[in-house]
Structure 1
Amino acid sequence: MANNYLSISDILVSNEKVPCRFLHDLPKLGFLDPSCTEEDLKAGTSVEIPLWLAESLSSRRPPLVAVDLPKVYKETYREIFNADACTVDLHKLAQYFFELGCYVAKYDIKGEVATTLVNTFRQRFKMILSASVSTDSINALQPLSSSERDRTASAMASEKALSTWLKRGDSLLTTANMVANHRKRKRAEMEML
């Protein structure tokens, strides 16, 4: 997933904390680990840091951290999502589930995160559709993640515009002159043969 510098949602996603394990001793960075009493950060220490920082530290040569998957993308939650993703309240669990998943999928060696994201969206698509036409929009939007809410809001606006247009009734659909003339020409050509 490409970084979008001006996107507020992308900034919020990149600020999500991910678990990392430091691979080297780092002097004067003990404050990153709240349980650390020393001034230096020792190798092997696990700390949750923002995604933007984890990506920059892991892309260095040699890498300073090894990025682990957040708990919502690990095996336990993957089994829950595969069983029935519609029962999960993604807004409470991970507000930016799909966006963050796209970022951390590159740290998944087996490639199961990407598969889980696709399967989860497929299962939840009906729920998004029903929420877009629901009259009780507050309860329908409650379990949806941020991106799902954006898509539902767009679908609601489209549904409302369509129903308004259909109720207007003053602009009936008619055959365009070009199509009518084309049919006449085709008929004339067929009669000549």
Structure 2
Amino acid sequence: MENTSYLSIQDILVTNEKVPCKFLHDLPKMGFLDPSATEEDLKAGTHLDIPLWLAESLYSRRPPLISVELPKIYKESYREILGADACTVDMHKLGKYFYEMGCYVAKHDIKGEVSATLMNTFRQRFRMLLSASVSNDSISSMQPLSESERVQAAAAATTERALAMWLQRGESPLTAANMVANHRKRKRAEMEML
């Protein structure tokens, strides 16, 4: 993600999620990463689930020490489910940080399908969140939301309540500022002089 913060708790939680990786080279004295390993060294071709922060670090080396594989929630079968109707999916169960993690994983997707899935899923679910926040529907009655969707839903509900309260007050109708009214009068006077 481009606008991540080193001190962001959310970013720390996202990068702590595990991703499947394949080690491309032998790594001496790293066998402790694989709980089933009996040797001290980690052999090339080993498949492990490691935290995203470690995977990013090992992938960014030249030459890369690992290849990052897509987690199952971003693979073809889940992309088809999300493409069909993303509003019926329990996003909290699928991935608490689905969008944030997807932004990290998208750069390892050669075909670019993860990015398209993230955008389409967000569009479908945003419409659902927006309509629920402006109508009498309860957001809590919808399928469980991801963390970013919860933040958006709370912000939308707060904004809707504030707008409703402001409209009910009715004590301060919108009027043009004196400066704007005077400016119009001066413009009209200048036009009449020409």
- TM above 0.5: yes
Structure 1 pair 131–144 and aligned structure 2 pair: CA distance change class (3 A): farther
Counterpart of 1:166, as a letter, is: L
Q: C-alpha offsets along residues 116-174 of structure 1, whole Å, 9 cap, x if unaligned? A: 1111111111111134345534323x521111111111111211222222222222212
Residue in 1 aligned with 2:74?
Answer: 73
Higher mean C-alpha deviation, range 7-16 or range 38-47? 38-47
For 1:19, what is the secondary structure of its paired residue?
strand
Residue in 2 aligned with 1:138?
Answer: 140
Q: C-alpha offsets along residues 4-42 of structure 1, whole Å, 9 cap, x if unaligned? A: 112111111111111000112223322322333333322
Residue in 2 aligned with 1:55?
Answer: 56
For structure 2, which runs of at least 5 residues remain unmatched after alignment? none
Counterpart of 1:86, as a letter, is: C
What is the 5 A alignment of 1:154-173?
A: 154-173=155-174
Identical aligned pairs, as a percentage? 73
For 1:66, what is the secondary structure of its paired residue?
strand
TM-score w.r.t. length of structure 1: 0.90
For 1:43, what is the secondary structure of its paired residue?
coil
Task: Give the Å deviation of 1:192.
Answer: 5.2
Higher mean C-alpha deviation, range 171-180 or range 41-50? 171-180
Residue 151, structure 1, aligned to residue 176, structure 2: no
Residue 36, structure 1, aligned to residue 37, structure 2: yes
TM-score w.r.t. length of structure 2: 0.89
Structure 1 pair 28–190 and aligned structure 2 pair: CA distance change class (3 A): closer
Residue 82, structure 1, aligned to residue 80, structure 2: no
Cα distance in 2 between the residues matched to 1:83 and 1:135: 23
Cα distance in 2 between the residues matched to 1:131 and 1:18: 33
CA root-mean-square deviation: 1.9
Cα distance in 1 between the residues matched to 2:171 and 2:8: 40
Question: What is the aligned length?
Answer: 192
Counterpart of 1:39, as a letter, is: E
Residue in 1 aligned with 2:129?
Answer: 128
Counterpart of 2:133, as a letter, is: S
Cα distance in 2 between the residues matched to 1:25 and 1:108: 24
